[in-house]
Amino acid sequence: MAKVKSARRRAQESIANYQGTMYDAMANEYISNLEQDDYVRKGQNISDTTKLVAQAGKLIDNFYQQKEENVEFEGYVADLEGATGEKFKYEHASFLDVLSGKNKFGEMFEEKMTFGGEKVTKGQIEARAKLLDPETIDRSLSSGWKYGDETKALSGTQKIGYKAGALMDREVSNTVGKMIYEGQGFQAWSTRMAVLDDLMQSEQNAVNNWFDKDEQKLFYQQKDIYEAETSTEAQKDAASDELMKMYKSVSEEVKGTRRVQWDDIKSFIEARESETNYDIGKNYTDDGKLASYDIGPYQINTNWIMQGDGSFELTQDKTPYALYDNINEYLDTITDFETFEDSSFFGEREGFYDKTLSANPLKNIDWADLKGDRSIFKKYRNEEVIDPFETDEEGNKRKEALLKAGLINEYWEVY
């Protein structure tokens, strides 16, 4: 039989039950608040994600737009290069450059562009390209530059840069010019026809009688044929051959003497070749590509100081060219300055990780990239710029001229 509860107990239980319903109500209110917060959170998530996706979409759109603009700009560069034969150079300061102290923070991602040695902006390139006559554009002559490709100087070529600078020195240029004149001959100069013309018309010729009347007559006949628009190609070739014989005869040594000595002809060459000691000319191949530079008062070709393909280092049968060696031996004594170490990479070797070195991944890491004087944090900060002409006004003028021509970079390294 069930135990009968007292009235008091029933009353107390009722109060407790009432209290219990209050607790339940409070719990339900709490749950409802939680659910409400959850809906708000979900809404916020949807809103945030939508914003993020929209932003990503805009970014992708901008990216493609930027890419299109870059491709367009590459086209302008190609057009300009194709029409003028000049080369476009592009450099930009990377985050790593700033980190290593090569560039200042404010220069981060800064783009530097030069065209034919002249500092230009993107706008200038675009404007110039748009003003071109389409008939003059030959895109096959362009370098095929792609946006972002940096034009980097060749590491370890500082010595060649110094030699290029030295060719602007009158005395050095005179010595090298004489070596070329006597070694290769007068025909080495592209202005030979004009120089010979000047020489024949000169008072010195009247005094020294380098060329008699018959030779002068022959020269002007051949010159006229060569220059006449009405001449056929065959006639021009024949005239060219005749003229070439005459050029060779100018510096040719016969029985120990030359018809015209270097000291007698050099002022004529200089007058035709340059206006100042700092003149830099450019030579192009038949298809319009930049082949070499001419430097200084006698416009000495840079192939005399460059190395490898295209230079005069080797003869056609791949044997050392004695004249080239002699010139460089001489120039080596003139440019006996301290040079850079190879600075094309950070650390001990190129790249940060080389998986071919060891099975141990830790041994494949070039730790010198991260610590030591060649690390990405210190390399440029600790490195004093080696510039033998830093305080030399004359040296700086030469450097300026070479920089402007786009032959060297700020560290005298050649491109």
Partner 1 sequence: MPAWLAPALFGLQVAGTIGQGRNTARASRAKIAAAKAQLADNETARKELNIATAQQVEASEVDYLSSFENAGFKSRTLAQELDRNYEAGSGAQGFSFSGQAAEENRLGLEQVNENFTNTRRDILRTLDKTQADIFAFDLKEKARLRAEDTKLKAQIGMASKTNSTMSALGWDII
Site residues (CB under 8 A) for partner 1? 6, 8-9, 11-13, 15-17, 19-21, 23-24, 26-28, 30-31, 34-35, 37-38, 41-42, 45-46, 48-49, 52, 55-56, 59, 62-63, 66, 109
Q: Are 251 and 259 in contact (CB under 8 A)?
A: yes
For partner 1, give the closer residue by CB, 33 or 276.
33
In the numeric block, which tokens belong to residue 248? 């060779």
Q: Are 151 and 381 in contact (CB under 8 A)?
A: no
For partner 1, give the closer residue by CB, 15 or 385.
15
Task: Tell me how far, at minimum, the Cβ of 7 lies from partner 1, in Å.
Answer: 9
Task: Tell me how far, at minimum, the Cβ of 153 lies from partner 1, in Å.
Answer: 25
- Side-chain-side CA neighbours of residue 338 (13 Å): 9
For partner 1, give the closer residue by CB, 66 or 344.
66
For partner 1, give the closer residue by CB, 62 or 221.
62
For partner 1, give the closer residue by CB, 45 or 276.
45
Task: Tell me how far, at minimum, the Cβ of 71 lies from partner 1, in Å.
Answer: 14
Task: Tell me how far, at minimum, the Cβ of 20 lies from partner 1, in Å.
Answer: 3
Q: How far apart are CA 124 and CA 239, in angstroms?
A: 44
For partner 1, give the closer residue by CB, 14 or 140.
14
For partner 1, give the closer residue by CB, 123 or 256.
123
Task: Tell me how far, at minimum, the Cβ of 14 lies from partner 1, in Å.
Answer: 9
Task: Tell me how far, at minimum, the Cβ of 38 lies from partner 1, in Å.
Answer: 6
Task: Tell me how far, at minimum, the Cβ of 63 lies from partner 1, in Å.
Answer: 8
